[in-house]
A and B are shown apart, each in its own frame.
Chain A
């Protein structure tokens, strides 16, 4: 009786989770996978095939954007790590008491506004008639208005800004657990700053670094608004093409194939990253 009750309560606890996974994650993806292999023969008949996938490889614009998105996302992830690590170190190790909370809050505050508002914020700063352009002219460094928006650098700035919090939080958590004595021992045994960072701090923080990088990479790869608004015509992002297929062209089959490819790409890169750093997902997720 008691065991049945235990089983029942476990079942009840798991139900929302299972429903969420099945209905919102598993089913749509299975459906998308199915659609991506459908070939429309005429208005009322379908057959199975890989036309959509061969389209992807045949049309250079598709796979070029695909590679571009992957490379830019990795660059963004690396930059976010470079900027986020010192911030996390300061919050975890140097800030005390109130300052710590305030700093954390400062990282969090931008997320009270939506991504759209945050991105428009950057556009106000960077556009031709924007603040930076005005300051550069006032300082006499440039003659006329400069367009800082609509290039790859602007996209990366926006993406890094959006991703920073997701890098800082896991890093602060792992660095918090690093015993100060370990750092001191690193110096005491003759190490300089670089030795201590490379041999003591980074190996310790590796789970946080990897989980931060995974989250940031996924977010960046799948982001749509920032690259679209800040990148302009020449800065294509792969999600834009999925959008185009689904919404503009109403070609669901091609859109689904591109969606599946994006999923495969991100999984592959995450797996590769874990292999290269010698981490496994279980350790990273704690």
Chain B
């Protein structure tokens, strides 16, 4: 498959600090690629390197096999949707969209036609005469997208554009962005700190930390088979238990927890007996009750509280110093639980991942 964007060993230093540190990536044409990471992980710096607002200290950027390192932003086949959208406040919606076309010397009549068509495509027909300030947050979002998409860029960069929207609209726009990306067939590179945005929309997600990629994978792989303890705790909710390796056999690692008790999980890397290790288990894989199959790992915890939230209801329990969460099924299989009582939690070892000494 051809790549629209291909980067090798990108480095960007600010003084001693490496904001982007040896990042390589390969984004296939027409795909939705997300870079997910906490604030300050270097994702915005990386995006600015791709847009051309900043130059890498070393490494190369190729877009459709053209080296882009020294190409200025206005000459790159790349457009960007800014975090605060950056719609020109002194221009109407149509002029905002027409700005890029005008730079390409598209004739006025053609420009008007293209502007009208793209406004229809993003679901804002006939709003060309409005000023950006007169639009709602969701509408502004669409105008910002239309302004880039009308130029048919090879690559569209998006810098957390949903951050300013309220929760409900954000959920709506997530799905819509995904549909628009499919409809236009443009390659999207999306950066966000919101793991749900990345998981819902992307074909592939890169999890970034301290200027490096921890893991690049499809969303479901990222969720089920995290490569590092950071990915395990950053993507989705997770419970963490620390202990010492007792034995490794047959794709299973047995762990003695610091709080006592013995549990098992799937090793993510080579582990040695006696080594410190952390086990991660998702709340929905943690089952409540005493009558679990014998192959399951089991712990006894103190119930702190139950958190009712419809299908996402969970219980919060304590094991030593740690807070643990488990999904609380709403089908009546678990009886009434009183705070302070002892609750048995268990999981199928296959569903837990064990890492050597997590430093998160």
Contacts and interface: CB of A to CB of B under 8 A. Distances in A.
A190 B104 contact: yes
A185 B82 contact: yes
Given A179-B86, A187-B53, A190-B100, 9 more contacts: A179-B84, A182-B86, A185-B82, A186-B88, A189-B74, A189-B79, A190-B151, A199-B88, A203-B88
Contacts of B72: 187
A184 interface: yes
A186 B89 CA distance: 12
Contacts of B78: 188
Nearest to A193: B74
B80 A188 contact: yes
A10 to B, nearest CB: 33
B247 interface: no
Interface residues of A, number: 18
B88 A188 contact: no
Contacts of B103: 189-192, 195
B51 interface: yes
Given A179-B84, A188-B80, A189-B147, A204 B89 contact: yes
Given A179-B84, A199-B99, A188 B74 contact: yes
Contacts of B137: none
Contacts of A206: 90
A184 B86 contact: yes
B24 to A, nearest CB: 24
Contacts of A192: 74, 103
A189 B100 CA distance: 5
Interface string B42-77: 000000000111000000000000000000111000
19 contacts: A179-B84, A181-B86, A182-B89, A184-B51, A184-B73, A185-B82, A185-B86, A185-B88, A186-B99, A188-B73, A188-B74, A189-B103, A189-B147, A189-B151, A191-B103, A203-B88, A203-B90, A204-B90, A206-B90
A178 to B, nearest CB: 10
Interface string B308-336: 00000000000000000000000000000
Interface in B170-194: none
A188 B79 contact: yes
A93 to B, nearest CB: 14
A90 B237 CA distance: 48
B51 to A, nearest CB: 6
Contacts of B151: 189-190
Contacts of B100: 189-190
A71 B9 CA distance: 61
A200 B74 contact: no
A195 B74 CA distance: 11
A139 B84 CA distance: 56
Interface of A: 179, 181-182, 184-192, 195, 199-200, 203-204, 206
A181 B73 CA distance: 13
Interface string B80-101: 1011101011110000000110
A246 B151 CA distance: 67
Sorted nearest first, the 3 A-B pairs with minimum C-beta distance are A190-B103, A203-B90, A189-B100
Contacts of A189: 74, 79, 99-100, 103, 147-148, 151
B74 A185 contact: no
Contacts of A190: 74, 100, 103-104, 151
Contacts of B83: 181
Nearest to B97: A189
Between A185, A187, A195, the greatest number of chain B beta carbons within 10 A of the residue's beta carbon is seen for: A185
Nearest to A204: B90
Contacts of B82: 181, 184-185
Nearest to A205: B90
A206 B90 CA distance: 10
Contacts of B52: 188
Nearest to B84: A181
B219 to A, nearest CB: 28
A129 to B, nearest CB: 52
Contacts of B86: 179, 181-182, 184-185
A268 to B, nearest CB: 27
A195 B88 CA distance: 13
Contacts of A204: 89-90
B73 A200 contact: no
B80 A185 contact: yes
B163 to A, nearest CB: 13
A37 to B, nearest CB: 46
